Amino acid sequence: MAKIIQSIRGMHDILPDQSAAWQYLEGTIRTLFTQYGYRELRTPVLESTELFCRSIGEVTDIVEKEMYTFEDRNGDSLTLRPECTASCVRAGIQNGLLYNQQQRIWYIGPMFRHERPQKGRYRQFYQAGIETYGIPGPDIDAEVVAISARLWRLLGLRNVELQINSLGSSEARAAYRDILVAYLTEHEAQLDEDSKRRMLSNPLRVLDSKNPDLAELIEAAPKLLDHLDDESKQHFERFQQLLTDMGIPFVVNTRLVRGLDYYSRTVFEWVTTELGTQGTICAGGRYDGLVEQLGGKPTAGLGFAMGLERILLLLEEQSIEIPSLAPHAYLLMQGDAAEREGLKLAETLRDNVSGLRIMSNCASASFKSQMKRADKSGAQYAIILGDNEINEGVVSLKPLNGGEQQQLSQDALIEHLTHIVSTENNNG
Ligand code: ATP
Ligand code: MG
């Protein structure tokens, strides 16, 4: 037998049994973003490697060790996108979407990072996100947080905590950097190798370390929030005020610096304790310097990205029910005349019952095996068409959860199915 080829480690098939949950989540997200007036931007999954080096920053986990980078046949260095913010900015500059105007953008799609695969951490994973341009905030900062908060409500997710922080202006950060380096130098002996290196190249990232041995040291470090410039301070206060006004609870986490280099002022994460160390389901912030860094005119930017696998894991963890996409009805056909009529009948039903999901039996089989297929399809009803039904001009409808079978005219069947579909829609 030929050798079976496996998918790549950390990259998973989304199987038919799982895809209803994905469609539900993605559909909810698309509708939600559209409700706020955001429009979709689709960018290629491959970009020039330089785009990510220049935006995300050389001294980050992503650029240092997580990117899928290779040379194509022309010898150009390409990278599978590890995130989408850089791509959105690139597309915005290239297509003249950013200068002197406002944009509210969303995206959804796969991202690629060469990380150690584990629950909630994969090498291909999906993000849905929002990016806004030309709006300096803090009103828009509060709006994008409200969008994410609304998503958790729509999905029925519980126990996700909003953590916020401000990284200030780049000047304030530069001044704080010196204070932090002085503190870290004083405690250098306690630092791990990564942190020692980062202390020199990008000391703020030490605060982002996931090494539990450093937790105490980081907790005691001087806080950026105590060294903010006045404008950033006002921005942060107004942002908090707007969240409070909208009834969105939050906590200030002074250690929140985010893994990427390009953030300024507002940063935030939605965190749960129910997914172990992969507890951040959504993360974002303001990146007013990024557009210029990538060659555009200075333009305010702000966005977030959510990890769809982690949201789905949390839905499962909290036993939240996902609307079914199984057929409402499975059509059984018995005998030659019924097999001729059946496909036509199913088409008529689809024409007349909007939203109906009906599956026709294909490949003739005994009544018993057709019933098995009907059960396996997850349908709520079997519609039966046999010689009797054909002769009498009726169909039989049998609830598959054990109710009574009844004979109906085609019109009555249409009415019945319309009722079934509309009750489902009202409940869901
Ligand atoms: P983490 O600290 O968990 O590595 P991150 O700071 O690298 O996250 P971001 O770059 O901010 O993550 O990406 C935004 C969101 O995308 C994360 O909060 C998470 O929900 C999701 N995410 C990031 N990396 C992965 C991954 N490898 N697998 C699955 N989801 C991921
Ligand atoms: Mg990461």
Q: Which residue's CA is the nearest one to ligand 1's atom 6?
A: 259
State the DSSP string of 311-371. HHHHHHHTT------S-SEEEEE-SHHHHHHHHHHHHHHHHHSTT--EEE--S---HHHHH
Q: What is the pTM of this model?
A: 0.94
Encode burial over 83-109: b for 16+ CB neighbours within 10 A, e otherwise.
bbbbbbbbbbbeeebbeeeebbbbbbb
Ligand 2 center to 60 CA (angstroms):
9
Q: Which residue's CA is the nearest one to ligand 1's atom 20?
A: 307
Ligand 2 center to 208 CA (angstroms):
10
Which of ligand 1's atoms lies nearest the C-alpha of 61?
7
pLDDT at 210 over 90: no
Q: Give the strand order in the sheet containing 161-166.
A: 39-40, 103-112, 124-133, 301-307, 280-286, 264-271, 161-166, 251-252
Ligand 2 center to 113 CA (angstroms):
8
Nearest ligand to the CA atom of 305:
1
The confidence score (pLDDT) of residue 259 equals 62
Structure tokens at 343: 């496909």
The confidence score (pLDDT) of residue 258 equals 72
Is residue 198 helix, strand or coil?
helix
Read off the pLDDT band of 23 (50, 70, 90): very high
Model pLDDT for residues 73-122, shown as the tens digit of each residue? 999 999 999 999 999 999 999 999 999 999 999 999 999 999 999 999 99
Q: Smallest Cα–Cα separation from 288: which of 309, 305, 303?
A: 303
Which of ligand 1's atoms lies nearest the C-alpha of 304?
14
Q: Which residue's CA is the nearest one to ligand 1's atom 3?
A: 278
Range among 61-65, 205-209, 338-342 with highest mean pLDDT value:
338-342
367-371 contacts, C-beta under 8 A, 24 or more apart? 367/332, 367/334, 370/332, 370/333, 370/334, 371/332
CA 364, CA 395: separation in Å to the nearest integer?
Answer: 18
Binding-site residues, ligand 1, Cβ < 6 A: 83, 113, 115, 120-122, 125, 127, 259, 278, 280-283, 305-307, 309-310
- When the pLDDT of each residue in the chain is averaged and rounded to a whole number, the result is 94
The confidence score (pLDDT) of residue 262 equals 77
Give the whole-number percent of the chain exceeding pLDDT 90: 84
CA 405, CA 227: separation in Å to the nearest integer?
Answer: 74
Between CA 337 and CA 346, with CA 343 as vertex, the angle to 5 degrees is: 120
Read off the pLDDT band of 59 (50, 70, 90): confident
Ligand 2 center to 82 CA (angstroms):
10
| Distances in whole angstroms, Cα of residue 87 to Cα of each of 58, 81, 91, 142, 393 | 17, 8, 6, 24, 60
Model pLDDT for residues 126-169, shown as the tens digit of each residue? 999 999 999 998 999 999 999 999 999 999 999 999 999 999 98
pLDDT at 428 over 60: no
The confidence score (pLDDT) of residue 300 equals 96
